Chain A
Amino acid sequence: MRYLASLIAASLLLAGTSHAEEHEGRRLAMPAKVSAAWKTECGSCHMAYPPGLLPGRSWNALMDNLSHHFGSNASLDKGTEAEIRQFLLYASSDRDTRPAKAAPGERIVTRITDTARFADWHEEVRADVFRRQSVGSAANCMACHRGAEQGNFDEHQVRIPR
């Protein structure tokens, strides 16, 4: 009986831990010193997406092709581009600094909404919620995740607007 009780206690504890870890994981690690160029340049057209939202090679692919950036010309001068690229690579989700060269049959994702993690975390959100006027589209993280630009995607702090 005592064994059973401790087993239950242990499993509760474990469940608690994994729960906490899961939410911990939804706060992306942000470097202590945030690149000012990243904040201003990326953040002038859209939310400054935290580097931890994509793997390094995805960031390299995006930074290689800024003059064709999802239908817009987002080209930068060389110095600014290099600074932002470095910031993104070193705080990316996998810290992978290799160039964006896909292996045969591999596709390097460039849309955050195409990542497996995005699909996983938004499983319960219906498509029409993303289309609400108050949201705009799935690209507008901050509509529901107020702290998104600081890397905070904590599930408990989500507020979905009507």
Chain B
Amino acid sequence: MSRLFLLLLAASLAPPGPGRLFSRRTAAGLRRGSTPGFSGFSAERGKELYYRRNTKDGKAISCASCHSDDPRRSGMTPSFRKIGPMASAVNPERFRDPAKVEKWFRRNCDDVLSRACTPLEKGDFLTFLTTLR
């Protein structure tokens, strides 16, 4: 986990267009690490995670419920706050601060999936949102 954090940190320090760099470095990190069968992150799997619907308190919920069906658009929290677009192509400030990224994974994975996200899910999710044009 601390390795992922370091890689996220490296990604955040990278110049604009951090997606590719982040993926390459993180992928290399995971390969060296102890994730068996890891063969790179997938924007496709990240997309699936973004739209995956779960049931919470009897209601359907997904990342898209608050972040909008189009990650290039603004979303809205259930309590009426605007959320800036998730796609870094339209919101360059996204994913620049590793502590912020981890904070929201911690909260929102719990909210939507009722569990923590795995490093693979996080990498897939970030790959989807940093490569989306």
| A interface residues (Cβ-Cβ under 8 A, vs B) | 43-47, 67, 71-77, 136, 139-140, 142-143
Contact = CB atoms under 8 A, between A and B. Distances in A.
A139 B79 CA distance: 7
Interface string B95-112: 000010001001110110
Contacts of B108: 73
B106 A46 contact: no
A81 to B, nearest CB: 12
B80 A75 contact: no
A47 B107 contact: no
Q: A interface, by DSSP: helix, strand, loop or mixed?
A: loop
A97 B57 CA distance: 33
A155 to B, nearest CB: 22
Contact of B107 (A74, A139, A142, A143): A74
B4 to A, nearest CB: 17
A72 B111 contact: yes
Given A71-B57, A72-B111, A45 B77 contact: yes
Nearest to A140: B80
Contacts of A44: 77, 81
Nearest to B79: A46
Contacts of B106: 73, 75
A46 B107 contact: no
A47 B81 CA distance: 7
Contacts of B103: 76-77
Nearest to A136: B80
Contacts of A72: 78, 107, 111
B79 A73 contact: no
Interface in B63-84: 77-81
Q: Closest 6 interchain pairs by CB?
A: A46-B79, A73-B110, A73-B107, A140-B80, A45-B77, A136-B80
Interface string B23-67: 000000000000000000000000000000000110000000000
Nearest to B108: A73
A74 B108 CA distance: 9
Contact of A139 (B56, B80, B99): B80
A72 B77 CA distance: 11
